[in-house]
């Protein structure tokens, strides 16, 4: 019987794209060899696998890679989708999250990175983008008023794809976020933060370098 090596997953623990990639793989029951990446010192093996050198990257060891987080999720779930996540593959929600919402999130969280756009008033710039991002959150809150998750009563791909980014927005100023009148979204976020799935994909690992001991990551390895 031929034994196929697990694919390599280049990841960064706190990156929202990497988080959703790990959650997709975990839900699908796919174990990987995890290589934690320090973004300020990316290993050459990552750059060789995917020249754009962003995480996550799923390297199948045969020259083929998947280097987009949503594509990793969809690939994994097409192998095995025990919770039926693909029923909630809502392209409109994901596109708005990865486009306009991420645009505002970056400028709210990291205003110093955009001095030309800020025009000398960094605080006004930050608050403008917080307000614009919040409008999207208000829409999600309304969507959650009559359902537990974004596409129904059970979590699906859309929930997991959006959750890490909403977590990041909330954590930028948690006191402010918690004070906003978006109770359905706050309840939804709290549930995902407390989920066994999220806790399972968030252990801390030292940045990987060639020669390090292999880190097996996934539900079978954790059992």
| 8-83+201-222, CATH topology level | Glutaredoxin (3.40.30)
Please give the pLDDT value at position 80: 98
Please give the pLDDT value at position 3: 42
CATH class of residue range 85-198:
mainly alpha
Please give the pLDDT value at position 96: 98
Instruction: Give domain limits for the chain.
Output: 8-83+201-222, 85-198
Spatial separation of the C-alpha atoms in residues 86 and 97, rounded to whole Å: 17
Q: Give every residue of the chain whose pLDDT is below 50, as ranges.
A: 1-3
Instruction: Choose among 63, 67, 56, 59: nearest CA to 14.
Output: 56
Please give the pLDDT value at position 2: 39
Please give the order of strands across the beta sheet that includes 216-217. 65-66, 57-59, 8-11, 32-36, 216-217
Partners of 149 in the beta sheet?
A: 152
The answer to whether 24 and 160 have CB atoms below 8 angstroms apart is yes
pTM (two decimals): 0.96
Please give the pLDDT value at position 4: 67
Please give the pLDDT value at position 1: 29
List of residues 6+ apart from 158 with CB closer than 8 A: 88, 89, 90, 93, 94, 150, 151
Angle in degrees, CA 52, 57, 60, rounded to 5: 120
Handedness of CA 109, 114, 118, 122 (dihedral sign): positive
């Amino acid at each position: 019987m031929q034994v196929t090596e697990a694919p390599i997953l280049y990841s960064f623990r706190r990156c929202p794209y990497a988080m959703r990639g790990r959650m997709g793989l975990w839900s699908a029951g796919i174990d990987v060899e995890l290589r934690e990446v320090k973004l300020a010192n990316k290993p050459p093996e990552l750059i060789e696998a995917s020249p754009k050198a962003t995480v996550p990257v799923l390297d199948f060891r045969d020259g083929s890679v998947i280097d987009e987080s949503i594509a990793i999720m969809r690939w994994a779930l097409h192998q095995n989708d025990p919770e039926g996540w693909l029923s909630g593959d809502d392209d409109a929600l994901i596109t708005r999250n990865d486009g306009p919402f991420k645009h505002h999130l970056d400028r709210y969280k990291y205003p110093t990175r955009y001095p030309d756009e800020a025009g000398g008033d960094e605080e006004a710039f930050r608050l403008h983008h917080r307000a614009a991002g919040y409008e999207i959150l208000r829409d999600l809150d309304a969507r959650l008023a009559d359902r537990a998750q974004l596409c129904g009563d059970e979590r699906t791909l859309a929930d997991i794809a959006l959750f890490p980014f909403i977590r990041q927005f909330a954590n930028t100023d948690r006191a402010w976020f918690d004070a906003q009148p978006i109770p359905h979204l706050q309840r939804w976020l709290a549930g995902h933060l407390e989920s066994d799935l999220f806790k399972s994909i968030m252990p801390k690992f030292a940045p990987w370098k060639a020669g390090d001991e292999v880190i097996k990551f996934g539900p079978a390895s954790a059992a």
